[in-house]
Amino acid sequence: MSAQKKTRGSAIGRAFAVMSAAISVSAAVENHRRPSNVDLTTLGIDPKAFDRLG
């Protein structure tokens, strides 16, 4: 597999991971639940900083 195809595949996989995490975090916040640390980290949000919100 060429480096270009590997990079493109990685970018697409990362995009899906970010979208999935965004949907999960959004649903958790709407339902007054705390989002998972993994989803917050995927979005670049420090879980400890999230706890200080609100």
For the record, the structure tokens of 11 come out as 């970018």
List pLDDT tens digits, range 27-51: 999 999 999 999 999 999 999 999 9
Taking residue 12's Cβ as centre, other Cβ atoms within 10 Å add up to 10
- pLDDT of 9: 72
For the record, the structure tokens of 15 come out as 């995009």
Q: Which domain holds residue 11?
A: 3-51
How many domains does the chain contain in total? Answer: 1
Whole-angstrom distance, CA of residue 17 vs CA of residue 53: 24
pTM: 0.79
Is residue 8 very low, low, confident or very high in pLDDT (cuts 50, 70, 90)?
low
